[in-house]
Amino acid sequence: MTGSTPTLDLHLTDRPRRASAGFGVAPAEGSRHGVAVASVEGLGKCYGRRQAVDGVSFEVNEREVVGLLGPNGSGKTTILRVLTGYLRPSKGTVRIDGFDVVRDGHQARARVGYVPENAPLYGHMRVDEFLHFMGRLRGLRGPALRRGVESARARLALDPVGDAVIGRLSRGYRQRVSIAQAVLHEPKLLVLDEPTNGLDPRQVIELRGLLRTLAHDSAVLVTSHILAEMERVADRVAILLDGRLLTVHPLAGPGRGASLRVRARADRADEVAAALSGLPGIDGVTREEPGGTLASWRVEVAEAGAAPHVAAALCLAGIASVETVEAAPDLEELFLRLTASRALQ
Amino acid sequence: MTAFLALVAKELRALFVSPIAYAVIAVFLVLNGYGFAVTLFATKQATLVNVFFQAAVQLVLFVPLVTMRQFAEERRGGTLELLLTAPVREGDIVLAKFAASMGMLLAMVALTLVYAGILARFSTPDWGPIYSGYLGLALLAGALVSIGLAVSALTANQIVAAVVSLGVFGMLWAIDAWAAMLPSPIDDWVLGLSLLARFQPFAVGAMYASDFGFFLAVTLLGLFFAVRGLARR
């Protein structure tokens, strides 16, 4: 089954803007919106003497896509495996919908759908047979099992390959089957490990839309080392390096924040700096390298779309700014800056 | 229960999808059929004692081929992650693999009942040793499968699992020869671990509670270590 792949009826555009739930580096900063489905506190995991994950804390809230971002070996997969109950944490606690993954492992695992890296499946099974098997493993039976399988098949556009042997499916279909088995019991938390690996660009676009659709019903935690993918699909990204959480960066919603670039006459630099600092909703002002007769500032604001307000405020202060624009979100720059500074340390 | 039955069905199907099960059953039946015929024509006695000993040796050789892939293949292919992240206990996964392997092996051994039927057709065999012999084979198979599963749960390499299982089985089979070289009372303790010494009474129609308990204890210990092997992660 390597023929043409039918298109999923999904949003193929970038992530829609919607209210984002909170995501704190520390539990105390936890959820600003929504209910935490997954809660990770001080997670540590050792493989022998090697500390793979150290002191990681975050939450994933309902109807939210959170990306775990980091270079290879940064601990992304280990964190997912602890969340799904495959690995036991060396320290810290992980709760899924309030159930501890160690003490109430059975309850916690029943609330998670997991798509491991490279979509491991039973190649000798047929698609329907596999989905029924996974449904029964999760305690579904009778009409509930049939409904779950039919719904998953429909959502993942698997109807044409229901009778196909999994081992003969294309990579894209195998990935869909892997996702279907993870959603057929309508989990509270859907966990995907590098789901775009090995997919062609069209399949990547379809998967991106699919993840957004799945986030309507579940909290979604997804790993990737591709920054552009995360920018398109996630509400927030948690950046990891060497098993430590460097930062959590909102990419959508009111908590996201934004950067503005303000340029004005250099001879009025002091007045501009003072005016900017006095404005409400300003998180930080940084003077950029001077150049010629114009000075430039990078202004961090709490909410996106603040450029007209800042320009108006400067105007009221008697300062005619030459330019007040929103700087493009730059996850790549943030990632490189954070990982470089950590590497220097 | 739904999950457990689903696991057993999946394991049985996996066993019979692979050509290994068919090859093992075919070779087992050919060798035992040949041994039965030769013994019958040579001794003219209506007994299956010789078949039971042959079958026991073949179980020692063939069980590693059945158990080697059970966990090792799931670990290598990543599907163990699917099983262990589903809301099922490690014990259920181990028991399902045990039940499926035993189902296949007992079906294989049951096919030799044809020989008992032949004896009954042309003679009046003593059924006591035949019953005890089959019970002994079932107990031996249980012990071997559980040890094989424990070894398979510790590695991702099927060949390693098979070789280590074979080594353990061989050691437990022939340990009575080493026991003879040891001083008393250590020789008795070591002899007590011998699969051959424990199986022999069953094959000739004598059943002792100690032998029964030994096979049961080894089976439970093997299953326990298989569960521990899975939980070690």
* Domains of chain B, residue spans: 2-231
pLDDT at res. A217: 84
Closest to B5 measured CA to CA, from B101, B106, B93? B93
Across B155-166, average pLDDT: 93
Nearest neighbour of A120 by CB, restricted to B13, B81, B233 = B81
Q: Which residues of B touch A134 (CB under 8 A)?
A: 82, 86
B5 Cβ under 8 Å from any chain A Cβ: yes
Type and span of the H or E element at A10: none
Closest chain B residue by Cα to residue A129: B10
B20 Cβ under 8 Å from any chain A Cβ: no
* Cα A300 from Cα A25, distance rounded (Å): 19
**C-beta separation of A263 from A275 below 8 A:** no
Cβ under 8 Å to B: A residues 191-210: none
pLDDT at res. A169: 93
A81 Cβ under 8 Å from any chain B Cβ: yes
The model's pLDDT over A179-223, given as tens digits with 9 standing for 90+, comes to 999 999 999 999 999 988 877 888 888 888 888 888 888 899 999
Highest mean pLDDT among A207-211, A286-290, B86-90: B86-90
Q: Which residues of A touch B78 (CB under 8 A)?
A: 116-118, 120
Lowest mean pLDDT among A284-288, B73-77, B106-110, B202-206: A284-288
pLDDT at res. A257: 60
Asked if B83 lies within 8 A of A137 by C-beta distance, the reply is yes
Q: 10 Å Cβ neighbour count for A288?
A: 12
pLDDT at res. A328: 56
Nearest neighbour of A136 by CB, restricted to B6, B79, B83 = B6
Q: Is A243 left (phi over 0), alpha (psi -120 to 50) or beta?
A: left
Asked if B14 lies within 8 A of A124 by C-beta distance, the reply is yes
* Cα A22 from Cα A139, distance rounded (Å): 32
pTM equals 0.79
pLDDT at res. A344: 55
Residue A247 scores a pLDDT above 50: yes
Cβ under 8 Å to A: B residues 158-217: none
Closest to B201 measured CA to CA, from B152, B104, B128, B143? B128
Across B190-216, average pLDDT: 92
Residue A5 scores a pLDDT above 60: no
Q: Which residues of B touch A138 (CB under 8 A)?
A: 3, 86-87
pLDDT at res. B132: 95
pLDDT at res. B215: 96
Residue B149 scores a pLDDT above 90: yes
Asked if B85 lies within 8 A of A114 by C-beta distance, the reply is yes
Closest to A66 measured CA to CA, from A12, A20, A33, A2? A20
Residue A341 scores a pLDDT above 90: no
* Cα B105 from Cα B103, distance rounded (Å): 6
The proportion of chain A whose per-residue pLDDT surpasses 90, expressed as a percent, equals 41
Nearest neighbour of A133 by CB, restricted to B10, B78, B84 = B10
The model's pLDDT over A14-26, given as tens digits with 9 standing for 90+, comes to 343 333 333 333 3
Asked if B87 lies within 8 A of A106 by C-beta distance, the reply is yes
Asked if B10 lies within 8 A of A86 by C-beta distance, the reply is no
Nearest neighbour of B82 by CB, restricted to A88, A120, A141 = A120
Residue A13 scores a pLDDT above 70: no
pLDDT at res. A253: 54
Across B187-204, average pLDDT: 89
Q: What is the residue type of A253?
A: G
A46 Cβ under 8 Å from any chain B Cβ: no
DSSP B117: H
Q: Which residues of B touch A117 (CB under 8 A)?
A: 78
Q: Is the dihedral of CA B100, B101, B102, B104 positive or negative?
A: positive
A269 pLDDT tier (thresholds 50, 70, 90):
confident
The ipTM assigned to this model is 0.87
Asked if A114 lies within 8 A of B82 by C-beta distance, the reply is yes
Asked if B86 lies within 8 A of A137 by C-beta distance, the reply is yes
| DSSP states of A36-82 | EEEEEEEEEEEETTEEEEEEEEEEEETT-EEEEE--TTSSHHHHHHH
pLDDT at res. A14: 38
A315 pLDDT tier (thresholds 50, 70, 90):
confident
Residues in chain B, how many? 233
Closest CA of chain A from B87, distance in Å: 5
Closest to B144 measured CA to CA, from B226, B208, B75? B226
A113 pLDDT tier (thresholds 50, 70, 90):
very high
A327 pLDDT tier (thresholds 50, 70, 90):
low
Long-range contacts from B22-26, C-beta under 8 angstroms, 24+ separation: B24/B62, B24/B65, B24/B66, B24/B108, B25/B104, B25/B107, B25/B108, B25/B111
- For B47-68, b/e burial (b = at least 16 CB within 10 A) is bbbbbbbbbbebbbebbbbbbb
* Backbone φ and ψ of B205, nearest 5°: 100, 10
A82 Cβ under 8 Å from any chain B Cβ: no
pLDDT at res. B212: 94
pLDDT at res. A132: 96
- Mutation for B interface: A112, A117, A124, A136, most B CBs within 10 A: A136
Lowest mean pLDDT among A48-57, A59-68, A135-144, A292-301: A292-301
The model's pLDDT over B117-141, given as tens digits with 9 standing for 90+, comes to 999 999 888 999 999 999 999 999 9
- A258-265 and A323-326 strand pairing: antiparallel
**C-beta separation of A193 from A76 below 8 A:** yes
Residues in chain A, how many? 345
pLDDT at res. A342: 61
The model's pLDDT over B13-61, given as tens digits with 9 standing for 90+, comes to 999 988 999 999 999 999 999 999 999 999 888 889 999 999 999 999 9
Nearest neighbour of A87 by CB, restricted to B77, B86, B233 = B233
Q: What is the residue type of A248?
A: V
pLDDT at res. A115: 95
Closest to B99 measured CA to CA, from B167, B145, B40, B45? B145
Mean pLDDT score across all residues of chain A: 81
Q: Which residues of B touch A114 (CB under 8 A)?
A: 81-82, 85
**C-beta separation of A58 from A36 below 8 A:** no
Closest chain A residue by Cα to residue B16: A124
* Backbone φ and ψ of B106, nearest 5°: -70, -35
Q: Which residues of B touch A116 (CB under 8 A)?
A: 78, 81-82, 85
For chain A, which residues make up each domain, given as ranges?
A: 27-250, 258-328
Across A299-311, average pLDDT: 76
A28 pLDDT tier (thresholds 50, 70, 90):
very low
Q: Quick one: A27-250 is in which CATH superfamily? A: P-loop containing nucleotide triphosphate hydrolases (3.40.50.300)
Mean pLDDT score across all residues of chain B: 92
- Mutation for A interface: B81, B85, B89, most A CBs within 10 A: B85
Does the structural domain A258-328 have CATH classification 3.30.70.100?
yes
Number of H-type helices and E-type strands within chain B: 11, 0
Across A237-253, average pLDDT: 84
**C-beta separation of A200 from A231 below 8 A:** no
Asked if B2 lies within 8 A of A141 by C-beta distance, the reply is yes
pLDDT at res. A22: 33
Residue A29 scores a pLDDT above 50: no
Q: Which residues of B touch A83 (CB under 8 A)?
A: none
pLDDT at res. A144: 94
Asked if A122 lies within 8 A of B233 by C-beta distance, the reply is no
